[in-house]
Chain A
Amino acid sequence: KAGVTQTPRYLIKTRGQQVTLSCSPISGHRSVSWYQQTPGQGLQFLFEYFSETQRNKGNFPGRFSGRQFSNSRSEMNVSTLELGDSALYLCASTLDPSGTEAFFGQGTRLTVV
C-alpha cells in the first residue's frame, strides 16, 4: 500500500509569492492534517480536513489556507510568503478523525528568500 505522498519535496520561493503544496493520503484514509516544523517552534498544527471539510484550524494567519478534494487529496496554500514561512511542511493521514494511527509524509521543505 503506498504511503503518504507529498509534493514537491523541495521548494524555493521569493517573499511575496504564493505557494501550493500537495498531500495524497494513504488509500482509504479520509482525514488529512497539516503541520509546520521550524527549528524555533517545533511541530505546530495547521489544519485538519475530513470529507472535504475543515474540522480544525491552528493558530496561523489567514495567509495559510487549505482544501481537500473528493479523492481525499489535500492542498495547502500560503499567500504573500514571508521569510518566517520557511519550514518543513508535513501532512499526516488517518483513516478518520477518531484517533487512529497517523501516517506521515516525507514533507515539503519550503525556503523563502
Chain B
Amino acid sequence: KNEVEQSPQNLTAQEGEFITINCSYSVGISALHWLQQHPGGGIVSLFMLSSGKKKHGRLIATINIQEKHSSLHITASHPRDSAVYICAVRETSGSRLTFGEGTQLTVNP
C-alpha cells in the first residue's frame, strides 16, 4: 500500500462542473502539498497545508489531520484546468516529499 493514495486516477468533466480530488495518507506529516503538472512536465505548487482550508481563486484545498485526508476542489472548471494534480506529503520524520500517483483531469468544453 502506498503511503499516499489519490482518487480518482482519471477524471473527465464538462466545463463548469465542480471537481473534487481526494488524497489519503498513512504517515504523520508536517505539511501536505497540492501540485499541478501540465504536459511538458513543469510542476506548479498550488497549496501547502498543515491544517484547515485554503482558497485561491477557483481552487480550494482542505485537510483533516485526524482523518489523514485532504481534498482539492475546483469550482466552475475550465478546459485550462486540464492537468495532472499531485498530492505530496512532507513527513514529520524528515524533509523529503512523498507523492501520490496523481489524478489526470480533463475538462471538456
Query: Which residues of A are interface residues toward B (Cβ below 8 A)?
Result: 31, 33, 35, 37, 42-45, 48, 55-56, 58, 88, 90, 92, 97-107, 109
Complex contact B95–A98 (CB within 8 A): yes
Our pick among A43, A48, A55 for the contact of B99 (Cβ within 8 Å) is A43
Give the A-B contact count at a CB cut-off of 8 A. 59
Our pick among B31, B40, B42, B90 for the contact of A104 (Cβ within 8 Å) is B42
Most buried by A among B42, B48, B98, B99: B42
Chain B 75-105: CB-based contact to A (< 8 A → 1; otherwise 0): 0000000000010101000111111111000
The secondary-structure label for the interface of chain B is: strand
Question: Does B30 sit within 8 A of A, measured CB to CB?
Answer: yes
A96 and chain B: residue at smallest CB distance:
B95
A-facing residues in B11-47 (Cβ within 8 Å): 30-31, 33, 35, 40-45
A94 and chain B: residue at smallest CB distance:
B95
Complex contact B41–A107 (CB within 8 A): yes
Our pick among A35, A42, A103 for the contact of B101 (Cβ within 8 Å) is A42
